[in-house]
Chains A and B, each alone.
Chain A
Amino acid sequence: DVKVTQSSRYLVKRTGEKVFLECVQDMDHENMFWYRQDPGLGLRLIYFSYDVKMKEKGDIPEGYSVSREKKERFSLILESASTNQTSMYLCASSYGNEADTQYFGPGTRLTVL
């Protein structure tokens, strides 16, 4: 069974703090993704990575950065959290095969006060 885990289920931070969200997958997947999910907007892609140290911007990268130092781990960084980054953050991974579905982690609900 594919397992994608995220470091926290719930997180509360203050405006201006630096925030790290961690994602780990145990299936040797090449691709990893970070999304945010907001009511009425569906899932929107923030960043994705094809391989270690590789990253590509998604649809809404502003205010975020990512790091992939090891194949199994993909981190999302909010350099200076703002209230409009309050959201549910979902990590996903998939094989390098372009037709493969994505497997999602449980999500981190981040609240920025």
Chain B
Amino acid sequence: ELKVEQNPLFLSMQEGKNYTIYCNYSTTSDRLYWYRQDPGKSLESLFVLLSNGAVKQEGRLMASLDTKARLSTLHITAAVHDLSATYFCAVDPGTASKLTFGTGTRLQVTL
């Protein structure tokens, strides 16, 4: 059974600081997705990582994938309040787009 673990589960950080969210998974996969969820809202796709070494960047967020370590990271650079949300990683084990989600990391950026 595929397990996807994120840490930390909750992260409070000050504006301007850098931090990394980690996503570990238990079986072989080279397809990993990151989503963002604002309070009371649905999930929005952030990044699609499809191969070992893949790196994607959008604004202050950068995601990477190391399939050998079964690890993806979401790095936040110089955080701003607008990044406050819950971030989910999800892994596709190769079974027709069926995703297994991590439990989410709730990020709170304080002034």
Residues in chain A within 8 A of chain B (CB atoms): 31, 33, 35, 40-45, 48, 50, 56, 58-59, 90, 92, 94, 98-107
Contact = CB atoms under 8 A, between A and B. Distances in A.
Interface of B: 4, 31, 33, 35, 41-45, 48, 50, 88, 90, 92, 94, 96-104
A90 B48 contact: no
A40 to B, nearest CB: 6
B92 A104 contact: no
User: Interface centre among A40, A94, A99, by most B CB within 10 Å?
Assistant: A99
Nearest to B46: A101
B33 A101 contact: yes
Contacts of B92: 98-99
B98 A48 contact: yes
Contacts of A94: 97
Given A106-B41, A106-B42, A50 B101 contact: no
